[in-house]
Amino acid sequence: MANIKIPTPLRAYTSGQSVIAVSGGTVAEVLEDLTAQYPDLRPHIYDGDQLRSFVNVFIGEENARDQHGMATPVAEDAQLRIIPSIAGG
Amino acid sequence: MAVPVVTIDPAAVKLSREEVLRYSRHLIMPEVGMAGQQKLKAARVLLIGTGGLGSPTSIYLAAAGVGTIGLVDYDTVDESNLQRQIIHGTKDLGKPKVESAQETLLDINPYLNLKLYNVPFTSHNALEIIRDYDIVVDGTDNFPTRYLVNDACVMLGKYNVYGSIFRFEGQVSIFGDPDGPCYRCMFPSPPPPGLVPSCAEGGVLGILPGTIGTLQATEAIKLILGIGKPLIGRMLLYDALDMAWDTIKIRKNPTCPICGEHPTLTELIDYEQFCGVPAHDRSSYGEDQAKRPVPAISVREFAGWRSSGQAFFLLDVRDPHEAEISQMGADALIPKNVVRQRLNELPRDLPLVVYCRSGARSADVVRWLEDEGFTKAVNLAGGINAWAREVDPSLPTY
Ligand SMILES: [Zn+2]
């Protein structure tokens, strides 16, 4: 299964879990699985059916937005992460 | 569009005998040498924010011999800053941050030419302030100023050495290179207000800005010297809990509204409106278009309710670890982020007094409760900190 790393600001909605095993062949499927496991997360990364525009999903080093967006294929052992907007200084 | 190149003429300055001694550990490295140290002396670096990130960056840049440093910060030193803002000390409480920083920096390096801007950094003064510098270091603490720094740097063709922190996580990158991405390429739009807590709301590990700020200083020095591989088109991610570093790629977005092929942003905008939040606590943003006001009760009035035996339900919406700092006899502790899932635990027939640390989170909760038909919900104005100050001085404030 692929893994997705959850940034600190969103861990409040994943019972504090930082890395979550997810299944799915595309970014869309993986996020669907993630939000099915943690429904409280859904409103924070989706606006209706759309991924919120400030949410960056990376597969390895690459931003899904620079690939094929939600249709970007996800390999069986892929390491995904959500990169948060943080502004602290 | 201007092209950011740090072109610094090392011949423009000379090092004194004392400076040669001071910088000898740099001078003996071939990557720096006399020409490099002269470049550092001729360089002008603007630090926006003299807080967690600005403390270590300014200290190291001053010590390294950067000749001209500008500091922008309108704030004064507060006790809660000292856990991480190491440029300030207990003796500086209440002083303007830029003045406190000046004392520290000139003690470290008296040859420094320091320029202080004791004002909020805004769309009105950003271009004028940045114009005189070679490199900008972004150590601000809010989204509106992050977008402002980015846009102003792209417009003026300046490198923007970005660092950002939250709790145990940090990010570092360099924006503003003509061939590289900008902050908006990575973060086209800000998070909706309230979704991402600030460090004041969410906390930050005191050491974290030391780690991230010194990386910003390192990148600024490399840009000045023209050595190594700068963090352009890459973002370094740091997780202090896992003690893990990762690098991700950031690509230039051809449709970026400021650095793309057909920019639509040609002047600075109202960044508070863009982000939907005020940029600093002296901002008037939101006063007129504020969130709907909610019914509130002062801590003194609430103390009266308590002593008169009036019935009510007291709800604490802070995080559980905050309740370890101070408590005021809540009937329930339900953190703000889960309160909407647990409405069935709350009474609808009693006055429902809601509190948090200072009254902001609880006001949001009262607004939600009203939307859900709780007609008797009221916000405890000023939160438990006001209660501690005005009613129960045995409690600490935080
Ligand atoms: Zn851009």
Q: For B58-90, write each residue's pLDDT tens digit.
A: 999 999 999 999 999 999 999 999 999 999 999
Provide the phi-psi class of B194: left if phi over 0, else alpha when psi is between -120 and 50, else beta.
left
In the 8-state DSSP scheme, what is residue B115?
E
Q: B168-216: per-residue pLDDT in tens?
A: 999 999 999 999 999 999 999 998 887 777 777 788 999 999 999 999 9
- How far is it, in rounded angstroms, from Cα B38 to Cα B131? 21
B199 is catalytic: yes
Contact B167 A8 (CB under 8 A): yes
Q: Which helix or strand (DSSP H or E) is residue A32 part of?
A: helix A27-37
Gap from B170 CA to chain A (nearest CA, Å): 8
C-alpha distance across the termini of chain B, in Å: 46
Same domain, B251 and B300: no
Last residue of one domain, picked from the residues B245, B275, B305 = B275
User: What's the Cα-to-Cα distance from B219 to each of A59, A88, B24, B61, B234, rounded to whole Å?
Assistant: 26, 19, 21, 11, 12
On whether both B212 and B356 belong to a single domain, the answer is no
CB contact under 8 A, A18 and B241: yes
Q: pLDDT band at residue B1, thresholds of 50, 70 and 90? A: very low
CATH number at residue B57: 3.40.50.720
Nearest CA in chain B to A11: B337
Q: Is B308 helix (H, G, I), strand (E, B) or coil?
A: helix
CA distance B186 to A65: 10
**B307 and B270, same structural domain?**
no
Query: How far B338 CA sits from the closest chain A CA (Å)?
Result: 9
Q: Which residues have CB under 8 Å from B381's CB, separation 6+?
A: B296, B297, B298, B299, B359
B377 and B271, same domain (yes or no): no
Q: Report in angstroms the alpha-carbon separations of B75 from B71, B79, B85, B118, B358.
A: 12, 13, 13, 8, 19
CA atoms of B347 and B377, how far apart (whole Å): 10
Rounded to an integer, what distance in angstroms lies between the CA atom of residue B44 and that of residue B68? Answer: 5
Question: Chain A closest CA to B90's CA: distance in Å?
Answer: 20
Is B248 a domain residue?
yes
Q: What share of chain A is helix, strand, coil (3-state, %, to 5)?
A: 35, 30, 35
Torsion sign across C-alpha atoms B74, B77, B80, B85: positive
B168 with B38, same domain: the answer is yes
User: Are B166 and A8 within 8 A, CB to CB?
Assistant: yes
Does residue B395 sit within a domain? no
B185 is known as an active-site residue: no
Instruction: Point out the residue among B189, B202, B204 whose CB comes nearest to the CB of A53.
Output: B189
Has residue B177 been placed in a domain?
A: yes
Edge-first strand order for the sheet with A62-63 is A19-22, A2-5, A79-83, A56-59, A62-63
Q: Quote the pLDDT of residue B286.
A: 66
Looking at every residue in chain B, the average pLDDT score rounds to: 93
Same domain for B303 and B255?
Answer: no
Side chain identity at residue B66, one-letter code: V
Range of the structural domain that residue B341 is part of: 292-390
* Domain annotation covers residue B280: no
**A86 contacts in chain B (CB < 8 Å):** 164-166, 169, 171, 196
Provide the whole-model pTM. Answer: 0.85
Question: What is the mean predicted confidence (pLDDT) over B318-331?
Answer: 94
B139-168 pLDDT tens trace: 999 999 999 999 999 999 999 999 999 999
Q: How is residue B306 written in tokens?
A: 């308590």
What is the enclosing helix (H) or strand (E) of B103? helix B97-108
Write the CATH number for A69: 3.10.20.30
Q: Which residues of A touch B (CB under 8 A)?
A: 7-9, 12-13, 18, 40, 44, 52-54, 56, 58, 61-63, 66, 81, 83-89
Beta bridge partners of B252: none
Number of CB pairs < 8 Å for A and B? 98
What is the DSSP code (8-state) at residue B124?
T
pLDDT at residue B127 above 60?
A: yes
For residue B293, give the DSSP letter: P
Of the partner residues A18, A40, A86, the one whose CB lies closest to the CB of residue B196: A86
Bridge-based pairing state of the strands B296-297 and B377-380: parallel
pLDDT tens digits along B224-280: 999 999 999 999 999 999 999 999 999 999 999 999 999 999 999 999 989 988 888
Q: Chain B residues with CB inside 8 Å of A18's CB?
A: 241-242
Instruction: Domain count for chain B, please give it.
Output: 2
CB of B189 within 8 A of CB of B66? no
Q: Are B34 and B27 in contact (CB under 8 A)?
A: yes
Instruction: Note whether residue A15 is domain-resident.
Output: yes
B281 belongs to a structural domain: no
Q: Find out whether B7 and B1 touch, Cβ atoms under 8 Å.
A: no
Say how far apart CA B330 and CA B323 lie, in whole Å: 10
Cβ neighbours of A13 in B, within 8 Å? 337
Structure tokens at B14: 């000379």
Share of chain B above pLDDT 70, in %: 97
Query: Which of B145, B169, B207, B231 is the mutation pick for testing A, counting most A CBs within 10 A?
Result: B169
B327 pLDDT higher than 60: yes
**Among B160, B87, B153, B73, residue whose Cα is nearest residue B117:** B73
Q: What is the pLDDT of residues A4-59, one digit of tens each?
A: 999 988 888 999 999 999 999 999 999 999 999 999 999 889 988 888 888 899 99
